[in-house]
Structure 1
Amino acid sequence: MNRQEKAQIIEQLHEKAARASIAVVTDFKGMEVEEMTILRAKLREVGVDYQVVKNTLARLALNETSHSVLNDRLKENCAVALGYEDPVALAKALSDFVKGSKKLALRYGSLEGKFLDEEGVKQLATLPSKPELLAKMLGTMNAVPTNFVNVFAAVLRNFLYALNAIKEQKEGGAAPAAEA
Protein backbone atom coordinates (compact mmCIF):
# COMPACT_ATOMS: atom_id res chain seq x y z
CA MET A 1 0.00 0.00 0.00
CA ASN A 2 1.50 3.34 -1.02
CA ARG A 3 1.29 6.67 0.80
CA GLN A 4 -1.57 7.97 -1.27
CA GLU A 5 -3.73 4.92 -0.50
CA LYS A 6 -2.90 5.20 3.20
CA ALA A 7 -3.76 8.91 3.21
CA GLN A 8 -7.08 8.15 1.54
CA ILE A 9 -7.91 5.46 4.12
CA ILE A 10 -6.99 7.81 6.97
CA GLU A 11 -9.11 10.61 5.51
CA GLN A 12 -12.17 8.37 4.98
CA LEU A 13 -11.92 6.83 8.45
CA HIS A 14 -11.39 10.25 10.05
CA GLU A 15 -14.50 11.62 8.34
CA LYS A 16 -16.57 8.63 9.49
CA ALA A 17 -15.19 8.76 13.05
CA ALA A 18 -15.92 12.49 13.30
CA ARG A 19 -19.60 11.83 12.47
CA ALA A 20 -19.91 8.70 14.64
CA SER A 21 -21.44 8.81 18.10
CA ILE A 22 -19.95 5.44 19.03
CA ALA A 23 -16.88 3.45 18.03
CA VAL A 24 -16.30 -0.14 19.13
CA VAL A 25 -13.07 -2.04 18.57
CA THR A 26 -13.32 -5.78 18.02
CA ASP A 27 -10.90 -8.66 17.70
CA PHE A 28 -11.62 -10.69 14.57
CA LYS A 29 -8.60 -13.00 14.66
CA GLY A 30 -9.39 -16.32 12.96
CA MET A 31 -12.70 -15.26 11.40
CA GLU A 32 -13.43 -16.62 7.95
CA VAL A 33 -14.37 -14.35 5.06
CA GLU A 34 -17.94 -15.71 4.97
CA GLU A 35 -18.48 -14.95 8.66
CA MET A 36 -17.00 -11.46 8.25
CA THR A 37 -19.35 -10.82 5.30
CA ILE A 38 -22.36 -11.88 7.38
CA LEU A 39 -21.22 -9.61 10.23
CA ARG A 40 -20.81 -6.63 7.90
CA ALA A 41 -24.27 -7.20 6.42
CA LYS A 42 -25.90 -7.35 9.88
CA LEU A 43 -24.10 -4.20 10.95
CA ARG A 44 -25.06 -2.39 7.73
CA GLU A 45 -28.73 -3.14 8.51
CA VAL A 46 -28.48 -0.99 11.66
CA GLY A 47 -26.44 1.78 9.97
CA VAL A 48 -22.98 0.78 11.15
CA ASP A 49 -19.68 0.89 9.25
CA TYR A 50 -17.26 -1.92 10.06
CA GLN A 51 -13.69 -1.60 8.86
CA VAL A 52 -10.51 -3.58 9.35
CA VAL A 53 -7.65 -1.13 9.50
CA LYS A 54 -4.02 -1.07 10.58
CA ASN A 55 -3.52 0.30 14.07
CA THR A 56 -1.19 3.10 12.96
CA LEU A 57 -3.70 4.27 10.37
CA ALA A 58 -6.54 4.03 12.88
CA ARG A 59 -4.60 6.13 15.41
CA LEU A 60 -4.00 8.84 12.81
CA ALA A 61 -7.65 8.74 11.70
CA LEU A 62 -9.07 8.89 15.22
CA ASN A 63 -6.92 11.88 16.21
CA GLU A 64 -8.91 15.05 16.71
CA THR A 65 -12.18 13.14 16.99
CA SER A 66 -14.18 12.29 20.09
CA HIS A 67 -12.89 8.72 19.79
CA SER A 68 -9.21 9.58 20.25
CA VAL A 69 -9.45 7.95 23.73
CA LEU A 70 -9.04 4.63 21.89
CA ASN A 71 -5.66 5.50 20.37
CA ASP A 72 -3.47 4.21 23.23
CA ARG A 73 -5.29 0.89 23.31
CA LEU A 74 -5.11 -0.03 19.63
CA LYS A 75 -2.93 -3.13 19.55
CA GLU A 76 -2.82 -6.37 17.55
CA ASN A 77 -5.33 -7.07 14.78
CA CYS A 78 -8.53 -5.12 15.22
CA ALA A 79 -11.51 -3.75 13.38
CA VAL A 80 -13.51 -0.62 14.18
CA ALA A 81 -17.31 -0.45 14.11
CA LEU A 82 -18.68 3.08 13.81
CA GLY A 83 -22.31 3.90 14.64
CA TYR A 84 -23.93 7.20 13.76
CA GLU A 85 -27.50 7.30 15.05
CA ASP A 86 -28.31 4.72 17.71
CA PRO A 87 -25.36 3.56 19.85
CA VAL A 88 -27.49 0.83 21.41
CA ALA A 89 -28.21 -0.72 18.00
CA LEU A 90 -24.49 -1.10 17.31
CA ALA A 91 -23.80 -2.59 20.73
CA LYS A 92 -26.74 -5.01 20.40
CA ALA A 93 -25.77 -6.12 16.89
CA LEU A 94 -22.16 -6.80 17.92
CA SER A 95 -23.12 -8.51 21.19
CA ASP A 96 -25.62 -10.75 19.42
CA PHE A 97 -23.05 -11.72 16.81
CA VAL A 98 -20.39 -12.39 19.47
CA LYS A 99 -22.76 -14.87 21.17
CA GLY A 100 -22.90 -16.98 18.01
CA SER A 101 -19.25 -16.57 16.98
CA LYS A 102 -16.25 -18.13 18.65
CA LYS A 103 -13.79 -15.91 16.80
CA LEU A 104 -15.21 -12.38 17.18
CA ALA A 105 -14.61 -10.65 20.51
CA LEU A 106 -15.49 -7.20 21.82
CA ARG A 107 -12.53 -5.25 23.16
CA TYR A 108 -13.59 -1.73 24.07
CA GLY A 109 -15.29 1.33 22.69
CA SER A 110 -15.91 5.03 22.89
CA LEU A 111 -19.33 6.59 23.36
CA GLU A 112 -19.24 10.29 22.52
CA GLY A 113 -15.68 10.56 23.83
CA LYS A 114 -16.10 8.43 26.95
CA PHE A 115 -14.14 5.18 27.13
CA LEU A 116 -16.14 1.95 27.46
CA ASP A 117 -14.52 -1.33 28.38
CA GLU A 118 -15.89 -4.64 27.09
CA GLU A 119 -18.38 -4.85 29.96
CA GLY A 120 -19.55 -1.29 29.25
CA VAL A 121 -20.30 -2.18 25.64
CA LYS A 122 -22.23 -5.27 26.78
CA GLN A 123 -24.23 -3.20 29.27
CA LEU A 124 -25.03 -0.69 26.54
CA ALA A 125 -26.45 -3.58 24.50
CA THR A 126 -28.95 -4.36 27.28
CA LEU A 127 -30.56 -0.91 27.10
CA PRO A 128 -33.73 -0.37 25.06
CA SER A 129 -33.16 0.98 21.56
CA LYS A 130 -33.84 4.58 20.61
CA PRO A 131 -37.26 3.81 19.01
CA GLU A 132 -38.30 1.86 22.13
CA LEU A 133 -37.29 4.74 24.40
CA LEU A 134 -39.16 7.24 22.21
CA ALA A 135 -42.26 5.04 22.27
CA LYS A 136 -42.13 4.81 26.07
CA MET A 137 -41.65 8.56 26.38
CA LEU A 138 -44.56 9.28 24.05
CA GLY A 139 -46.71 6.78 25.96
CA THR A 140 -45.91 8.55 29.21
CA MET A 141 -46.55 11.97 27.69
CA ASN A 142 -49.87 10.75 26.28
CA ALA A 143 -50.89 9.19 29.60
CA VAL A 144 -50.95 12.51 31.46
CA PRO A 145 -53.64 14.25 29.36
CA THR A 146 -55.57 10.97 28.99
CA ASN A 147 -55.64 10.51 32.76
CA PHE A 148 -56.66 14.16 33.22
CA VAL A 149 -59.58 13.71 30.81
CA ASN A 150 -60.63 10.49 32.57
CA VAL A 151 -60.51 12.15 36.01
CA PHE A 152 -62.43 15.20 34.77
CA ALA A 153 -65.04 12.97 33.09
CA ALA A 154 -65.43 10.98 36.33
CA VAL A 155 -66.07 14.20 38.27
CA LEU A 156 -68.70 15.29 35.75
CA ARG A 157 -70.25 11.80 35.72
CA ASN A 158 -70.47 11.76 39.53
CA PHE A 159 -71.96 15.27 39.51
CA LEU A 160 -74.56 14.11 36.98
CA TYR A 161 -75.38 11.06 39.12
CA ALA A 162 -75.84 13.36 42.13
CA LEU A 163 -78.16 15.70 40.17
CA ASN A 164 -80.20 12.73 38.94
CA ALA A 165 -80.47 11.39 42.49
CA ILE A 166 -81.69 14.79 43.74
CA LYS A 167 -84.18 14.99 40.85
CA GLU A 168 -85.50 11.49 41.57
CA GLN A 169 -85.73 12.27 45.28
CA LYS A 170 -87.73 15.45 44.64
CA GLU A 171 -89.97 13.76 42.07
CA GLY A 172 -90.40 10.77 44.36
CA GLY A 173 -91.18 12.98 47.37
CA ALA A 174 -93.53 15.32 45.46
CA ALA A 175 -95.62 12.56 43.84
CA PRO A 176 -97.14 11.03 47.02
CA ALA A 177 -98.07 14.48 48.38
CA ALA A 178 -99.96 15.34 45.17
CA GLU A 179 -102.06 12.15 45.31
CA ALA A 180 -103.22 12.66 48.88
Structure 2
Amino acid sequence: MDRTQKEASVASIHAALQETNLVVVAHYSGLTVAEMTNLRSRMRGAEASLKVAKNRLARIAIKGTRFEGIDGLLKGPTAIAFSRDPVAAAKVAADFAKENDKFVILGGGLGEQTLDAAGVQALAKLPSINELRAKLVGLVQAPATKIAGVVQAPASQLARVLGAYAAKGDAA
Protein backbone atom coordinates (compact mmCIF):
# COMPACT_ATOMS: atom_id res chain seq x y z
CA MET A 1 0.00 0.00 0.00
CA ASP A 2 1.61 3.26 -1.08
CA ARG A 3 1.26 6.64 0.59
CA THR A 4 -1.67 7.84 -1.53
CA GLN A 5 -3.63 4.67 -0.81
CA LYS A 6 -2.96 5.09 2.90
CA GLU A 7 -4.10 8.70 2.80
CA ALA A 8 -7.26 7.69 0.94
CA SER A 9 -7.94 4.94 3.48
CA VAL A 10 -7.47 7.34 6.42
CA ALA A 11 -9.69 9.96 4.78
CA SER A 12 -12.38 7.35 4.08
CA ILE A 13 -12.45 6.08 7.66
CA HIS A 14 -12.33 9.61 9.08
CA ALA A 15 -15.28 10.72 6.90
CA ALA A 16 -17.28 7.64 7.87
CA LEU A 17 -16.63 8.26 11.57
CA GLN A 18 -17.80 11.87 11.27
CA GLU A 19 -21.23 10.66 10.11
CA THR A 20 -21.69 7.77 12.53
CA ASN A 21 -23.09 7.41 16.04
CA LEU A 22 -21.69 4.02 17.02
CA VAL A 23 -18.34 2.29 16.55
CA VAL A 24 -17.66 -1.34 17.51
CA VAL A 25 -14.09 -2.67 17.61
CA ALA A 26 -13.51 -6.43 17.40
CA HIS A 27 -10.78 -8.99 16.74
CA TYR A 28 -11.36 -11.17 13.71
CA SER A 29 -8.31 -13.45 13.79
CA GLY A 30 -9.02 -16.85 12.27
CA LEU A 31 -12.11 -15.92 10.28
CA THR A 32 -12.31 -17.18 6.73
CA VAL A 33 -12.96 -14.93 3.76
CA ALA A 34 -16.48 -16.39 3.47
CA GLU A 35 -17.22 -15.59 7.12
CA MET A 36 -15.96 -12.01 6.73
CA THR A 37 -18.06 -11.63 3.58
CA ASN A 38 -21.08 -12.93 5.49
CA LEU A 39 -20.42 -10.43 8.28
CA ARG A 40 -20.05 -7.56 5.82
CA SER A 41 -23.32 -8.46 4.08
CA ARG A 42 -25.12 -8.61 7.44
CA MET A 43 -23.73 -5.19 8.30
CA ARG A 44 -24.91 -3.78 4.97
CA GLY A 45 -28.34 -5.28 5.59
CA ALA A 46 -28.54 -3.40 8.89
CA GLU A 47 -27.29 -0.17 7.28
CA ALA A 48 -23.93 -0.49 8.99
CA SER A 49 -20.39 -0.91 7.68
CA LEU A 50 -17.31 -2.94 8.54
CA LYS A 51 -13.76 -1.83 7.81
CA VAL A 52 -10.51 -3.65 8.34
CA ALA A 53 -7.63 -1.20 8.50
CA LYS A 54 -4.15 -1.14 9.88
CA ASN A 55 -4.25 0.01 13.48
CA ARG A 56 -1.77 2.79 12.84
CA LEU A 57 -3.97 4.18 10.06
CA ALA A 58 -7.12 3.76 12.13
CA ARG A 59 -5.53 5.73 14.99
CA ILE A 60 -4.76 8.56 12.58
CA ALA A 61 -8.31 8.40 11.22
CA ILE A 62 -10.02 8.67 14.63
CA LYS A 63 -8.07 11.80 15.59
CA GLY A 64 -10.38 14.78 15.50
CA THR A 65 -13.52 12.66 15.86
CA ARG A 66 -15.59 11.99 18.95
CA PHE A 67 -14.29 8.40 19.00
CA GLU A 68 -10.74 9.16 20.12
CA GLY A 69 -11.39 7.10 23.27
CA ILE A 70 -11.29 3.82 21.33
CA ASP A 71 -7.59 4.32 20.53
CA GLY A 72 -6.60 1.81 23.24
CA LEU A 73 -8.70 -0.92 21.61
CA LEU A 74 -6.77 -0.81 18.34
CA LYS A 75 -4.31 -3.63 18.94
CA GLY A 76 -3.98 -6.82 16.96
CA PRO A 77 -6.15 -7.78 13.98
CA THR A 78 -9.05 -5.40 14.50
CA ALA A 79 -12.18 -4.75 12.51
CA ILE A 80 -14.15 -1.55 12.96
CA ALA A 81 -17.94 -1.65 12.54
CA PHE A 82 -19.94 1.55 12.53
CA SER A 83 -23.48 2.76 11.93
CA ARG A 84 -25.64 5.84 12.15
CA ASP A 85 -28.24 3.85 14.09
CA PRO A 86 -26.99 3.74 17.69
CA VAL A 87 -27.54 -0.01 17.97
CA ALA A 88 -27.39 -1.55 14.46
CA ALA A 89 -23.67 -2.33 14.32
CA ALA A 90 -23.72 -3.60 17.92
CA LYS A 91 -26.63 -5.96 17.17
CA VAL A 92 -25.01 -7.45 14.08
CA ALA A 93 -21.60 -7.76 15.76
CA ALA A 94 -23.08 -9.38 18.89
CA ASP A 95 -25.15 -11.84 16.86
CA PHE A 96 -22.13 -12.76 14.74
CA ALA A 97 -19.95 -13.15 17.84
CA LYS A 98 -22.50 -15.60 19.32
CA GLU A 99 -22.30 -17.74 16.19
CA ASN A 100 -18.55 -17.49 15.68
CA ASP A 101 -16.11 -17.65 18.60
CA LYS A 102 -13.25 -16.29 16.47
CA PHE A 103 -14.96 -12.89 16.31
CA VAL A 104 -14.35 -11.19 19.67
CA ILE A 105 -15.88 -7.82 20.52
CA LEU A 106 -13.36 -5.62 22.34
CA GLY A 107 -15.48 -2.53 22.90
CA GLY A 108 -16.55 0.56 21.06
CA GLY A 109 -17.79 4.08 21.27
CA LEU A 110 -21.23 5.65 21.38
CA GLY A 111 -20.85 9.33 20.72
CA GLU A 112 -18.07 10.52 22.99
CA GLN A 113 -18.56 7.67 25.47
CA THR A 114 -16.20 4.70 25.28
CA LEU A 115 -17.80 1.29 25.78
CA ASP A 116 -16.27 -1.99 26.89
CA ALA A 117 -17.39 -5.35 25.50
CA ALA A 118 -20.21 -5.62 28.06
CA GLY A 119 -21.43 -2.15 27.10
CA VAL A 120 -21.61 -3.15 23.44
CA GLN A 121 -23.48 -6.35 24.39
CA ALA A 122 -25.96 -4.32 26.47
CA LEU A 123 -26.42 -1.90 23.60
CA ALA A 124 -27.10 -4.83 21.25
CA LYS A 125 -30.05 -5.89 23.39
CA LEU A 126 -31.83 -2.56 22.90
CA PRO A 127 -34.39 -2.20 20.11
CA SER A 128 -33.19 -0.50 16.93
CA ILE A 129 -34.49 2.87 15.74
CA ASN A 130 -36.77 1.18 13.21
CA GLU A 131 -38.22 -1.11 15.90
CA LEU A 132 -38.85 1.91 18.15
CA ARG A 133 -40.53 3.76 15.29
CA ALA A 134 -42.80 0.77 14.64
CA LYS A 135 -43.78 0.61 18.31
CA LEU A 136 -44.48 4.34 18.34
CA VAL A 137 -46.69 4.09 15.26
CA GLY A 138 -48.52 1.18 16.87
CA LEU A 139 -49.11 3.19 20.03
CA VAL A 140 -50.35 6.17 18.06
CA GLN A 141 -52.66 4.05 15.90
CA ALA A 142 -54.12 2.02 18.77
CA PRO A 143 -56.25 4.84 20.27
CA ALA A 144 -57.50 5.83 16.80
CA THR A 145 -58.58 2.25 16.12
CA LYS A 146 -60.35 2.07 19.47
CA ILE A 147 -62.12 5.39 18.86
CA ALA A 148 -63.27 4.21 15.42
CA GLY A 149 -64.61 1.01 16.97
CA VAL A 150 -66.49 2.89 19.71
CA VAL A 151 -67.96 5.40 17.25
CA GLN A 152 -68.97 2.62 14.85
CA ALA A 153 -70.50 0.40 17.56
CA PRO A 154 -73.69 2.45 18.24
CA ALA A 155 -74.50 2.60 14.52
CA SER A 156 -74.16 -1.15 14.13
CA GLN A 157 -76.23 -1.73 17.28
CA LEU A 158 -78.93 0.60 15.95
CA ALA A 159 -78.96 -1.30 12.66
CA ARG A 160 -79.35 -4.61 14.52
CA VAL A 161 -82.26 -3.24 16.58
CA LEU A 162 -84.01 -1.92 13.46
CA GLY A 163 -83.41 -5.26 11.75
CA ALA A 164 -84.93 -7.08 14.72
CA TYR A 165 -88.05 -4.86 14.67
CA ALA A 166 -88.39 -5.39 10.90
CA ALA A 167 -88.15 -9.16 11.37
CA LYS A 168 -90.70 -8.97 14.20
CA GLY A 169 -93.08 -6.94 12.01
CA ASP A 170 -92.80 -9.49 9.20
CA ALA A 171 -93.55 -12.32 11.62
CA ALA A 172 -96.71 -10.62 12.97
- Same-fold call, TM cutoff 0.5: yes
Q: Does the 8 A contact of 2:73 with 2:106 survive in 1?
A: no
Q: Per-residue deviation at 1:142?
A: 3.3
Q: Whole-Å Cα distance in 2 between the matches of residues 73 and 101 of structure 1?
A: 20
2:140 matches 1:141: yes
Instruction: Give % identity.
Output: 36
Aligned residues between the structures: 157
Which residue of the partner structure matches residue 115 of structure 1? 114
Displacement of 1:151 after TM fit? 7.6
Report the counterpart of residue 90 of structure 1 in structure 2. Answer: 89
1:38 aligned residue: 38
Q: Is the 8 A contact 2:107 2:115 kept in 1?
A: yes
Q: Residue 28 of structure 1 corresponds to which residue in structure 2?
A: 28
Q: TM-score, normalised by structure 2?
A: 0.80
Deviations 1:54-97 (A, max 9, x none): 1111011011112111113321220101112x232221111111
Q: 1:14-73 CA deviation, whole Å, 9 max, x = no partner?
A: 001111111100100111111111111111111121111111110110111121111133
Aligned mates of 2:107, 2:146 — CA distance in 1: 45
In the TM superposition, what is the alpha-carbon distance from 1:148 to its structure 2 partner?
Answer: 6.4
Match of 2:50 in 1: 50
- Deviation string 1:112-146 (CA, Å, 9 cap, x unpaired) is 22111111111111111212211222222334555
Instruction: Tell me, in whole angstroms, the C-alpha distance in 2 between the residues paired with 1:151 and 1:37.
Output: 53
How far, CA to CA, are the matches of 2:45 and 2:149 in structure 1?
A: 42
The TM-score, its normalising length taken from structure 1, stands at 0.77
Q: Which ranges of structure 1 fall in alignment gaps of 5 or more residues? A: 158-180
Distance 1:45 1:143 in 2: 30
* Distance in 1 between residues matched to 2:41 and 2:101, nearest whole Å: 18
- Change in Cα spacing, 1:97 to 1:73, as seen in structure 2 (3 Å) is closer
Partner of 2:14: 14
Q: In structure 2, give the amino acid aligned to 1:142.
A: Q
CA RMSD of the aligned region, Å? 2.2
1:106 aligns with 2:105: yes
> What letter matches 2:18 in structure 1?
A
Task: Give 2:157's aligned residue.
Answer: none
Give the deviation of 1:150 after TM superposition: 7.0
Aligned equivalent of 2:69 = 69
Aligned to 2:131: 132
Cα distance in 1 for residues equivalent to 2:152 and 2:42 = 50
Amino acid corresponding to residue 138 of structure 1 in structure 2:
V
Gaps of 5+ in 2: 155-172
- 8 Å Cα contact 2:49-2:89 kept in structure 1: no
Larger-gyration structure (1/2): 1
